[in-house]
Amino acid sequence: MGFSLISSYSFWFLLLCILAGAVYAGLLYFHEKDNDFSLLTTRVLAILRGTTITILAFLLLSPLLKSTSRYTEKPIVLLAIDNSGSIILGKDSSFYKNEFMNKYRKLAEDLSKKYDVQAYTFGDKFSRGKGSAFTEKQTNMESIFNEIRDSYSNRNLAALILASDGIYNQGTDPLYVSDNAPYSIYTIAMGDTVQQKDIKIARVNYNRIAFLGNDFPVEITITAFKCAGSQSKISVSSGDQQFYNENFSIGQPTFSHTFITKLTASKTGIQRYRIAVPAIPGEISTANNFQEIFVEVLDSRQKILLLQASPHPDVAALKQAIEKNRNYSVDNFMLSDFNGSIASYSLVILHQIPSVNDVGFQVTNQLKTIQVPVLYIIGSQSNIPAYNSLMAGLQIPPSLSSFNDATSILNPDFSLFSPGPEIEHMIPEFPPLSVPFSQYKPGTASQVLLYQKIGAVNTRIPLILFNQGVDRKSATITGEGIWRWRLANYAKAGNQQTFDELFTKIIQYLAVKEDKSQFRIILKNSFTENEVVEIDAELYNDSYQLVNEPEVNIVITDDNKNIFPYAFTRTSNAYYLNAGSLPPGEYSYKATTAFAGKAFQKTGMFTLMALNVESMNTVANHVLLNNMATSHKGKMLYPDQMDDIAKLLAARDDIKTLAYTQKRYTDLVSFLPVLLLLLGLLSAEWFIRKRNGSY
């Protein structure tokens, strides 16, 4: 490492600094002939003070200390091995677990003598390590190149050696992700490219949600290879009960057939169904002969009442958007035709009701006594004074019944739900709504989703507003013409997805039933077997403030009655549990705690679904590995050629150790040795003066 001083001033100024130090020391110690010190002591003190003043004066020139360091970096070679279960599905499973891994570790040791070797494994996650147990349930090759981009940019990365069967079932196509990689790629082709004898469940299409008493379809695709002349049977069962079975013959060496059946949702909760075909003698794998699916059966759809003062295209647009969500059913009536009760509905939508022609007392009177959420849509037929009397969180003072065209501005501070980037992008593209011209007065409990933009003027006038009242939630759309939004969405994107998503979120917020319980358990209904089971818990005091003083315990029970007790960990104001990975199956739980003399208990269920994607494809994709290698100055090799990799790398002229020079500039005034030197000079001068009886 070398050091040098640089300054923006000429170093002739150093002479002035020395002169300043000499003059200062001379005036201090030699202007009087009679002093308390001997001549030698006086000269030493003058030198110390002069040196101090010289250094301080020099520091005023803002000098920089330039340090130059040189270091070398060996070429980096990354080893990445596929840790997914597809590697050991074939007849060579023992070879890959033993001989192959021994040769792979030896390769890593040999390369380490000349290169900086970093070893990784990949599957459904990417991690460090030279060993591989081939146990992961999915293969994501994209993670390799993401890690290289994040961790090895601007490094002396020479080559990636990738050992895999070329099968991936998660993430982006590795050929696309690695397209611009500036390093060489060598691949070790694992697995077998010959299609073996096998029958499997290739695909199952089904509804994840069904409603009690309804039939739901299940579509099952069976494929078979080299099984011609065999007889087989497909079955669908749950526990000991079989719901469907059908015999079939395999007439061709390559066979594929889709079976369609209907199952009945006979009880609520998460229902587990097993789809299976029996094993055929000699087939390569039986792990793909069955698949389990989980269907959540709900008691009923949430019913939504849509009332209109008169026919309007807004109503059709709303109805179509809401019914895209299978959790909702819409009853649509003209106000004059409705004589029922709104108590059976989860949400009431009133389009231009109260109306100037019919206030709709039979509905508004019910709203005053029944706590059903309401969405009001105001238009040219709305009776504004009657609307104001409903205390919906917005007052619109009477005007001359004039209307403006107003486009939409998203309120960035809206917090009731997240609109999402697609909705945020589309909102400025929506055509204007026809809104009443007036000075709107939102309530204190209101939140605005969209403001009005009138002409080129951004206003703080609500276009879509939500209100949380004492007994109900409500929302108001202050203009008519939302049907144009749906058409604009189609013109812009070729579908109405963004419009439908916006109103689905509005409906979901209004129609959801609020949980008023003081003890709550929060978790997903289903997990996959490669996920950890994470559970949150919340405890509220009588003022509905979060507390976490008491301990919260939970007991998880699997379908074999095995019990797993856990205690939650406290967070800042709630509770969290990481139960780790659990085997596939159905689980029930019971969480308990006690607070302020009251005992609380919550029960529920969740499922862990088995992942069989690795067994779906047993044929290695060596074409992918070869294309990846040849497009990056590399080569695909087979396991028995693994030792050649070191020779191939050694023959490369572009793989070499790099030397780097690094320059750093440090302000001399912040350089610690300079500070210590100044302290030493001043301390020495003070000590000599003190020793000679002076100050």
Shared-domain flag, residues 252 and 321: no
Q: Is there a domain that residue 658 lies in?
A: no
pLDDT of residue 34: 66
The domain that holds 429 is classified in CATH as 3.40.50.880
Q: How many Å apart are CA 142 and CA 121, to the nearest integer?
A: 13
Same domain (yes/no): 321, 468:
yes
Q: Judge if 446 and 472 occupy the same domain.
A: yes
Q: Is residue 209 part of a domain?
A: no
**Does residue 434 lie within any of the structural domains?**
yes
Picking from 511, 536, 562, the residue at the C-terminal end of a domain is 511
One domain, residues 262 and 347 = no
Query: Is the separation of the CB atoms in 148 and 177 below 8 Å?
Result: no
Q: Which pLDDT value is given to residue 207?
A: 83
Contact criterion met (CB below 8 Å) for 117 and 150? no
Whether 373 and 484 map to the same domain: the answer is yes
- Same domain, residue pair 415 and 307: yes
Residue 60 inside a domain? The answer is: yes
> Do residues 121 and 129 touch, judged by C-beta distance below 8 A?
yes
Whether 424 and 502 share a structural domain:
yes
Of 455, 477, 511, the last residue of a domain is 511
Same domain membership, residue 347 and residue 445 = yes
For residue 602, the model assigns a pLDDT of 94
The whole-angstrom separation of Cα 118 and Cα 352 is 68
Identify whether 354 is preceded by a cis peptide bond (ω within 30 of 0): yes
Q: DSSP string covering 428-448, please? A: GGSPPEEEE-S--EE-TTEEE
The order of strands in the sheet holding 658-667 is: 2-6, 64-73, 658-667
Q: What is the DSSP string of 495-529?
A: SSHHHHHHHHHHHHHHHSPP---SEEEE--SEEET
State how far the Cα of 264 lies from the Cα of 541, in Å rounded to an integer.
43
User: Among 511, 545, 564, which residue terminates a domain?
Assistant: 511
Q: Is residue 205 part of a domain?
A: no
Q: Which residues contact 432 (CB under 8 A, 6 or more apart)?
A: 405, 406, 407, 479, 481
Mean pLDDT per 10-residue section of the chain, whose length is 695 residues:
76 86 85 74 87 89 84 89 83 85 91 92 84 82 89 89 89 86 92 87 86 86 92 91 93 92 87 91 86 82 89 93 86 90 90 88 84 92 89 82 88 86 90 90 90 90 89 90 93 90 90 80 86 92 89 94 94 93 90 94 88 77 92 92 91 85 82 88 86 72
Q: Is residue 285 part of a domain?
A: yes
Q: Decide: residue 27, CB within 10 A, 0-12 exposed, 13-18 middle, 19+ buried.
A: exposed
Helix (H) or strand (E) holding 318: helix 313-323
Same domain, 160 and 37: no
Q: Check which CATH number belongs to the domain holding 262 and give it.
A: 2.60.40
> What is the pTM (predicted TM-score) of this model?
0.56
Q: Per the domain annotation, does 467 fall within a domain?
A: yes
Same domain, 87 and 52: no
Q: Which residue range(s) make up the domain with 126?
A: 75-91+112-193+619-650
Identify whether residues 308 and 450 lie together within a single domain: yes
CATH number of the domain bearing residue 530: 2.60.40.1220
Domain count, the chain: 5
pLDDT of residue 33: 66
Q: What is the pLDDT of residue 31?
A: 76
Supply the pLDDT for residue 68.
Answer: 83
Length of the chain: 695
What pLDDT is attached to residue 695? 61
- 207 belongs to a structural domain: no
Q: Same domain for 330 and 456?
A: yes
